[in-house]
């Protein structure tokens, strides 16, 4: 199967003889050398952008079985990823980490770390990877593909053929391209670029001249020259947020948020803002004073520029730990305290899984599962399958270890309940599942009954 490779393009704007950079949070501050800070006629806008963003790009090295299983010979792979959180959360392409046995990331400073896959979304070809860093990391500034112009300069950074942090430059060739690489692999609404893209660039950033990620490189036409593609930033932000939400152990805020783009934007204006779309009556958010239409601006010490920023604030938060919020309403700046907690689950989790999908499960330790597949860290052992149920019809059998539903890992019963109670479950059906059986990874589609 042809595999995609993506590069990012970074740009800056020259106005009245001076260089303008997009305003951004502290966590994405550029790490420029002294030479670049001083005037240098050779330091072009592209040089400044690369210096600004390269530390938020990681090179990914993987090992997988030659036939996709842990029992076969090992094959080395390569790819790229971008850091979306200072604690070591990285987004890359799903095909970069698919069926990997071991995973390492290498930073621009040469340091290398073991990494693990947290979540997958094969449909959009995105995945979430985590590694432990001894210090906070630079985060890639996220832009938008909504205002991209055909002919606009873009920059790609990636692990091309294993040559780490390779930089290429091109233009936006087209937008909203639907691409089918073969009968099994297709994409919707991609960005097309002529920046040089090679094997290993998959998962790397496509950047505009402000140094913002406008896309994630994903595919090339191997029989063509100068034709590469990238997943738009909007899809990257939405899916990354969903994958993080699946990792935060069902912490509930009692509100629904949405991203709102500020286009056309002024020089000093933020690109997007986080708007409260709905607040559940008597919920935690309602008690904090939030209402539909409010604009969230800050959570504790973190500025909120997207719903992905919001999920980053919750990802490692403990249930019941208060969160100080700043928000705007009708031009007024307001504050509130949100005690984010777990929702009350009325249904017994075991009964819920039995009624919605037709299985009973029990958690399996990460040690047991990692002996079979080193990249996995736990799962749910299927102890019983209801005859003629959706699970039975999908091919799930007693003795399987359920390791994933949709893009979420199944490490605990809470993970399973999160998916089965998800308010978008009807739209996800039939839902992808991943199971271990006889040491091999199997996948399929299963219908899940909704409680709505």
Residues marked as catalytic: 95, 125, 202
How far is Cα 265 from Cα 85, in angstroms, rounded to an integer?
25
Place of tokens 């040559």: 163
How far is Cα 129 from Cα 58, in angstroms, rounded to an integer?
11
How far is Cα 433 from Cα 405, in angstroms, rounded to an integer?
5
- What does 409-422 look like in DSSP terms, one character per residue? E--SHHHHHHHHT-
How far is Cα 137 from Cα 163, in angstroms, rounded to an integer?
22
Q: Are 151 and 9 in contact (CB under 8 A)?
A: no
According to DSSP, residue 342 is labeled P
Of 270, 292, 201, 4, nearest to 122 by C-alpha is: 4
- What are the start-end ranges of the E strands in 295-358? 295-299, 302-303, 322-329, 332-339
Q: Are 28 and 139 in contact (CB under 8 A)?
A: yes
SS3 at position 169: strand
User: What backbone torsions phi and psi does residue 266 show, to the nearest 5 degrees?
Assistant: -85, 170
How far is Cα 290 from Cα 286, in angstroms, rounded to an integer?
5
How far is Cα 290 from Cα 269, in angstroms, rounded to an integer?
24
SS3 at position 129: strand
Answer whether the bond into residue 140 is a cis peptide, omega within 30°. Answer: no
C-alpha Rg value of the chain to the nearest Å: 22
Q: Are 54 and 159 in contact (CB under 8 A)?
A: no
User: What backbone torsions phi and psi does residue 356 show, to the nearest 5 degrees?
Assistant: -85, -35
Between β-strands 163-182 and 153-160, what pairing exists: parallel, antiparallel or unpaired?
Answer: antiparallel
Burial class of residue 429 (count of CB atoms within 10 Å of its CB; 0-12, 13-18, 19+): middle
Q: What stretch of H or E contains 355?
A: helix 349-356
Alpha carbon 308 to its chain centroid, in Å, reads 9
Q: Are 204 and 82 in contact (CB under 8 A)?
A: yes
């Amino acid at each position: 199967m042809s595999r995609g490779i993506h590069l990012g393009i970074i740009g800056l704007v020259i106005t009245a003889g001076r260089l303008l950079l997009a305003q951004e949070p502290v966590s994405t501050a550029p790490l420029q050398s002294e030479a670049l800070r001083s005037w240098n006629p050779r330091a072009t806008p592209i040089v400044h952008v690369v210096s600004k963003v390269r530390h938020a790009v990681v090179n990914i090295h993987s090992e997988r079985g030659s036939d996709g299983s842990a029992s076969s010979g090992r094959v080395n792979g390569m790819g790229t990823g971008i850091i979306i959180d200072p604690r070591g959360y990285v987004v890359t392409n799903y095909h970069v980490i698919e069926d990997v046995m071991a995973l390492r990331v290498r930073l621009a400073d040469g340091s290398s770390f073991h990494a693990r896959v947290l979540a997958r979304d094969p449909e959009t070809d995105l995945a979430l990877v985590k590694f432990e860093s001894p210090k906070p990391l630079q985060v890639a500034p996220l832009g938008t593909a909504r205002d991209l112009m055909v002919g606009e300069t873009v920059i790609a950074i990636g692990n091309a053929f294993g040559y780490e942090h390779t930089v290429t430059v091109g233009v936006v060739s087209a937008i909203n391209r639907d691409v089918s690489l073969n009968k099994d692999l297709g994409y919707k609404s991609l960005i097309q670029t002529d920046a040089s893209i090679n094997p290993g660039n998959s998962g790397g950033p496509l950047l505009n001249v402000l140094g913002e990620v406008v896309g994630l490189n994903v595919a090339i036409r191997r029989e063509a020259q100068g034709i590469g593609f990238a997943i738009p930033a909007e899809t990257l932000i939405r899916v990354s947020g969903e994958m993080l939400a699946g990792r935060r152990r069902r912490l509930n805020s009692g509100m629904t948020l949405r991203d709102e783009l500020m286009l056309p934007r002024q020089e000093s204006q933020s690109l997007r803002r986080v708007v409260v779309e709905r607040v559940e009556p008597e919920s935690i958010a309602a008690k904090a004073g939030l209402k539909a239409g409010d604009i969230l601006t800050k959570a504790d010490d973190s500025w909120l520029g997207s719903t992905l920023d919001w999920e980053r604030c919750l990802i490692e938060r403990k249930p019941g730990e208060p969160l100080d919020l700043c928000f705007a309403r009708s031009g007024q700046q307001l504050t509130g305290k949100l005690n984010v907690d777990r929702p009350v689950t009325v249904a017994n989790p075991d009964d819920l899984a039995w009624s919605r999908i037709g299985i009973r499960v029990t958690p399996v330790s990460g040690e047991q599962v990692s002996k079979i597949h080193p990249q996995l860290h736990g799962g749910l052992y299927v102890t019983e399958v209801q005859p003629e149920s959706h699970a039975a019809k999908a091919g799930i059998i007693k003795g399987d270890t359920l390791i994933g539903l949709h893009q979420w890992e199944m490490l605990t019963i809470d993970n399973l309940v999160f998916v089965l109670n998800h308010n978008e479950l009807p739209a996800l059906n039939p839902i992808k599942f991943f199971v271990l059986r006889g040491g091999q990874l199997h996948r399929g589609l299963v219908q899940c009954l909704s409680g709505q």
